[in-house]
Amino acid sequence: MTRRRSLRDLLNKKTTEPSTALPWPDPASQRHEPVRADVQQNYRIAAHLWKDCEDVQFRWIKAGTKDILVVWIDTLVGKELTQNGIFKELSQQEHTPTSMAEIELVLTVQSMRVTSFYEVNLSMGDGFAVLFAEGFDTALCIDVSQFQGRPVEKPDLEPGVVGPQESFTELLEKNLGMLRRKIKSPQFKIEMQHFGNLSQTKVAVIYAAEVAKPELVEELRQRLGKINIDGVVDINYIRELTADAPRSPFPRNQISERPDRIAAALLQGRVGVIVDGSPYAMLVPATFIHLLSSSEDYYSAYIMSLPVRLLRHLTYWASMLLPALYIALMSYHQEMLPTALLVTLAATHEGVPFPAVVEAFIMVITFEALREAGIRLPKAVGQSVSIVGALVIGDAAVNAGIVSPGMVIVVALTGVASFSIPSYDLAMTNRLLQVPFMLLAGFFGLYGITVGLFILLAHLVSLRSFGVPYMSPLAPLDSRALREDSFFRSPWWSLQTRPAMLEPVNSIENASPKPQPEGGGKS
């Protein structure tokens, strides 16, 4: 025999106990509030903690002669699974259970025991139904969760032509499952924590135990332990709260939506963090070289990755400095241009009422506005609007004599170069740094750009990410790492050791011999 009542009906029922005996619903009090052997008292505590929550359900059932209370959040559980896995099995029991172990044997779904209301509330938030039984001072958390999430799709932020074509989703369990399929060893460790005083978001710290430096894992634990915030909704909360040099515009950690990239980084000795509800994972430490490398570099022939990587480094600096160089040459250093080119550029600039630096700002702001509009608009029209808008506005601005054709070309090339940067965060940094370099070029020409570059490089070499120099292996110089996997990558048979800057426990990553021609002859 069962009876089901809503939370509002339960709270309207008068009780003889004074309300002061009930704990307030804050995590500190819940952490030390034990589960009672009196099921009625457990019911009153749970009803008080979850008052005004219409999606919380309470249900009383009888197992033999024992009173049992089941509490769950209706929006997080599978209704059919709850009915068949819990209530149907328990309501058919004529034998009175004498221990929680007997109740567990009856159930057909996975369960675990907890002893405090803090654990009870965390489990309910994860989609568990919580069972209290008369005479037992432990509660049984039964996994009946059924979250609705989007399917695994192709990477959007880090697309690739070759290699795996799956990306993380917003479900933590699904993301961890994709990683577990790639690293099946028990050395792949997952440490689960909850962050956010109100959100109680699950956060997983992941690493390879026999590879990652123990001090690195401990440092991440300590930084995470200092977080005291009401809610963690996205991975960026964790990124900003654990990063070195918080005022630097450069990303001090790396995010990725690709399970294959995260798995490869863990096997090198890096440590990851995944937040429930975020389709990205964070990697620490991160270096400048890491941010300019792509997973495709390791899925294509190593000979092909050399020109691609070099081109990527070239376009990185071009996306930052190209408008500033054009401003400096047109405003102060015309003698550095070939005469024929100078005459052509001067002719196109004739009639433009603004100096080159103002032209550049007009075009850069217009280009960024169109790019932002293309992101915010629906996909079906976003790209068309940004491309057509850039063509129409650029052509109209040239015809109106507001900007010169040369400036339109330079800004367009800058935008194209920024799209080749694999890291979205690093590309955003470049878009920000364009402004001070354009100002320096407008006021001081190439001298201003040179001074700006010295300041930028000094800042980069001073940065560290979890103790690792940001510009490794360039500064400090590590010739071996620079030769093996930096501006180009060596073949797999040559990549035998893990990066020394990570100080891995086991430095040997690959012991495969160099391939030999048939018959063992020399290649």
pLDDT at 407 over 70: yes
pLDDT at 387 over 80: no
Q: Answer whether 143's CB lies under 8 Å from 131's CB.
A: no
Distances (CA, A) of 469 to 472, 473, 481: 5, 8, 13
pLDDT at 5 over 70: no
| pLDDT class of 380 with cuts at 50, 70, 90 | low
- pLDDT tens sequence across 136-188: 999 999 998 887 778 888 888 888 888 889 999 999 999 999 999 999 999 99
pLDDT at 12 over 50: no
pLDDT at 28 over 70: no
pLDDT of residue 259: 95
DSSP state of 487: S
* Mode of pairing for the β-strands spanning 281-284 and 271-275: antiparallel
Residue 19: how many CB atoms within 10 A of its CB?
A: 8
- Separation CA 30–CA 130 (nearest Å): 15
Once rounded to an integer, what is the mean pLDDT over residues 398-405? 80
| pLDDT class of 33 with cuts at 50, 70, 90 | confident
Q: Answer whether 266's CB lies under 8 Å from 207's CB.
A: yes
- Separation CA 236–CA 203 (nearest Å): 12
Lowest mean pLDDT among 289-298, 333-342, 384-393, 494-503: 384-393
By percentage, how much of the chain surpasses pLDDT 70?
90
| pLDDT class of 94 with cuts at 50, 70, 90 | confident
pLDDT of residue 14: 36
Nearest by Cα to 273 from 356, 350, 212, 347: 212
Give strand pairing partners of 497.
508
Residue 447: how many CB atoms within 10 A of its CB?
A: 14
Once rounded to an integer, what is the mean pLDDT over residues 305-332? 91
The residue that leads in pLDDT, 399 or 415, is: 415
Once rounded to an integer, what is the mean pLDDT over residues 234-239? 94
pLDDT at 487 over 90: no
Distances (CA, A) of 476 to 300, 334, 388, 490: 29, 38, 46, 21
Structure tokens at 454: 């010295």
Give strand pairing partners of 468.
465
- Mapping DSSP onto H, E and C, the string for 115-155 reads CEHHHHHHHHHCCEEEEEECCCCCEEEEECECCCCCCCCCC
Q: Answer whether 357's CB lies under 8 Å from 444's CB.
A: no
| pLDDT class of 389 with cuts at 50, 70, 90 | low
Distances (CA, A) of 105 to 112, 115, 259, 405, 509: 12, 19, 37, 78, 45
- pLDDT tens sequence across 427-482: 999 999 999 999 999 999 999 999 999 999 999 999 999 999 999 999 888 888 88
By percentage, how much of the chain surpasses pLDDT 90?
45
Look at residue 72 and give its three-state secondary structure.
strand
pLDDT of residue 4: 41
pLDDT at 209 over 60: yes
Once rounded to an integer, what is the mean pLDDT over residues 507-520? 80
pLDDT of residue 2: 40
- pLDDT tens sequence across 284-296: 999 999 999 988 8
- pLDDT tens sequence across 266-277: 999 999 999 999
Distances (CA, A) of 58 to 129, 132, 222: 10, 11, 39
Structure tokens at 184: 């099946």
pLDDT of residue 19: 35
| pLDDT class of 21 with cuts at 50, 70, 90 | very low
pLDDT of residue 520: 55
Any residues with CB less than 8 A from the CB of 321 and at least 6 apart, and which? 437, 449
pLDDT of residue 468: 94
pLDDT at 41 over 50: yes
